[in-house]
Amino acid sequence: MSRPGIFGPPRDWPAQDLIGLSDELDPDLVVLAYRCGVFPMPLHNAWFPARMGWWSPMRRGVLLPDGLRVTRSLRKSAKHYVTTVDAAFDEVIARCADPRRPHGWIDHDIVDAFTALHHRGVVHSVEAWTPEGNLAGGLYGISVGGLFAGESMFHDPDIGRDASKVALLRLVSAMQRDGQADRIIDVQWRTDHLASLGVIEIDRDEYLGVLDETLALSAPDWAAERGRTDRGGEETGA
């Protein structure tokens, strides 16, 4: 893979989710990939000689901020948590990367690259805390223009009922806060769980067609988000 035009024109991509391979992963490449509609995911235990796969799903899972389904039970759960932004990134990504999680895929290369991007202010975490101050759930992802690409989310099975959903609710609030209704949350693939929250599927061509417009939008004001604490659904200053 070479730069620029590292992935080539989309018309030349294979008609499958996996569109490239490499042994290289660095923060700049990750940002470039998302701008091209591509994301990295390691090829653990695969027969491919490369260790990193580059993916652009034929059917992309996306959540439009005004499309989030908030049930009565989720609103009730939200009252039991305090949510923050970028307050515990290292712990969130470590919990998401816990090798004991089923279908875990986040390796040291991913952690290193996204941690570096967090320090640059490009990758952000959202946390959900119990009133006692324990981390109950969270998510992290990369913010490029009006696109937030969610990488992973987790909840603590003992203390975190609905905590990852509550973190998502806070993320959606951040994406909507200044009236930029056309921002998009990319979740890579639609699952039944994500579909229950309002995630839809669009085909690759449609996703790439709206990507440039989305990237041209302003990102949420993450500095302001770090200064907001949501306590039971009511925002306060830091």
pLDDT digits (tens, 9 = 90+) for 82-106: 999 999 999 999 999 988 777 667 9
Phi, psi of 139 (to 5 degrees): -150, 165
* 27 token code pair: 């923060």
Could you identify the residue written with the tokens 């921002």?
183
pLDDT computed for residue 1 by the predictor? 42
The answer to whether residues 226 and 238 touch, using CB atoms and an 8 Å cutoff, is yes
Same domain, 81 and 161: yes
Compute CA 126 distance to the chain's CA centroid, rounded to the nearest angstrom. Answer: 10
pLDDT computed for residue 14 by the predictor? 96
Helices 108-119 and 89-96 pack at an angle, to 10 degrees, of: 160
Sequence-distant (6+) residues with CB within 8 A of 64 are: 184, 185, 198, 200
Query: Is residue 4 situated within a structural domain?
Result: no
Query: Is residue 2 situated within a structural domain?
Result: no
pLDDT computed for residue 66 by the predictor? 86
Residue 40 sits in which domain range? Answer: 10-57
Query: Is residue 67 situated within a structural domain?
Result: yes
Q: How far apart are CA 123 and CA 102, in angstroms?
A: 24
Same domain, 143 and 106: yes
Q: What is the DSSP letter of 48?
A: S
List the CATH number of the domain containing 25.
3.30.70
Q: Residue 21: how many CA atoms within 13 Å on its side-chain side? A: 9
Same domain, 87 and 141: yes
Same domain, 98 and 26: no
Query: Is residue 170 situated within a structural domain?
Result: yes
pLDDT < 50 regions, the chain? 1-4, 238
Domain count, the chain: 2
Same domain, 93 and 21: no
Q: Is 0.85 topped by the overall pTM?
A: yes
Same domain, 74 and 118: yes
Same domain, 150 and 169: yes
List the CATH number of the domain containing 202.
3.40.630.70
Query: Is residue 3 situated within a structural domain?
Result: no
Same domain, 136 and 223: yes
* 237 token code pair: 């200053």
